[in-house]
Amino acid sequence: MTPGTVYLVGAGPGDPELITLKARRVLGEADAVVYDHLVDTALLELTRPGCERIFAGKKGGQACRPQVEIDGTLVRLALEGRTVVRLKGGDPFVFGRGGEEASALAAAGIPFEVVPGVTSALAAAAYAGIPLTHRLHSSSVVLLTGHEDPTKPDATVHWEDYARLKATLCIYMGVRNLATIAKRLEDGGMAAETPAAIIVSATTERHRRLLGTLGTIAEIAVVEKVEAPAMLIIGEVAAFSEKLAWFESARLQALAR
């Protein structure tokens, strides 16, 4: 039997309207969808009758199914001749393990395509009114994972180095290690007064925005009991959120009607 094609599809940051036209099309053509925890289940309604839905989500860093098992599921479904959508929050190739899944498919001789999605850093910043680049304030953006233990000797993210870049730092999965990350950025020379923002559940009905500075944002996260999913943005541009937070303004106006 000729293997089916696997589509590694980015579902975007949460709002189901932020998926691409191609993502919508392949969902409608799929025989099976393997989806993650952060995917809005409204997107599953775009599938045709009879499409098999398989949950393979991860929450809080705890895998519901081991990655090797997910890889195996994709290979098995494709070898059955089925068209498969692997539906992932954000973008498959930005902290989404899409590279691992693509490698497993390639090794098994399975044809695949990657359908990019709006990654969480871009969406969280946009909905919070934070321009990640600005002609007067920031000419570069860095996407980082905060999930890695910053205290381990062989850590691959050297926070002190990023403190010296004068870039906008977008930190995924950084809530648990936020206090240590903030301290190491300060140790690297980043001013404690540098604006910082946390956007929780960006673009969804649970969206909320917390503003502070590098020196205060960890304490704010504790007081506000911040939990994942949350995006941390550090840099001068974070201050724009005070005046440009259009999404929250629109929600408040809607509630006032």
User: What confidence score (pLDDT) does residue 82 get?
Assistant: 98
User: What confidence score (pLDDT) does residue 153 get?
Assistant: 75
The CA distance from 33 to 71, in Å, is 13
Q: Which helix (H) or strand (E) holds 51?
A: none
The CATH number corresponding to 6-115 among 3.40.1010.10, 3.40.190.10, 1.10.10.10, 3.50.50.60 equals 3.40.1010.10
Rounded to an integer, the average pLDDT of 99-117 is: 98
Rounded to an integer, the average pLDDT of 116-132 is: 97
Model confidence at 256, pLDDT cuts 50, 70, 90, reads confident
Q: Per-domain residue ranges for the chain? A: 6-115, 120-248
Kindly report the pTM of this predicted structure. Answer: 0.92
Please state which CATH number belongs to domain 120-248: 3.30.950.10
Q: Which helix (H) or strand (E) holds 195?
A: strand 195-200
User: What confidence score (pLDDT) does residue 251 get?
Assistant: 83
C-alpha distances in angstroms, 230 versus 5, 92, 174, 199, 213? Answer: 33, 18, 8, 6, 16
User: What confidence score (pLDDT) does residue 39 get?
Assistant: 95
What is the overall mean pLDDT for the chain? 94
Rounded to an integer, the average pLDDT of 226-240 is: 97
User: What confidence score (pLDDT) does residue 62 get?
Assistant: 54
Burial of 78 (0-12, 13-18, 19+ CB in 10 A): buried
Catalytic residues, by residue number, are 36, 58
Tens digits of residue pLDDT in 58-76: 665 555 689 999 999 999 9
User: What confidence score (pLDDT) does residue 254 get?
Assistant: 79
Tens digits of residue pLDDT in 150-184: 777 778 899 999 999 999 999 999 999 999 999 99
Beta strands at 168-172 and 141-145: parallel, antiparallel or unpaired = parallel
User: What confidence score (pLDDT) does residue 91 get?
Assistant: 98
User: What confidence score (pLDDT) does residue 154 get?
Assistant: 79
Please report the sign of the dihedral spanned by the C-alpha atoms of residue 131, residue 247, residue 241, residue 213: negative
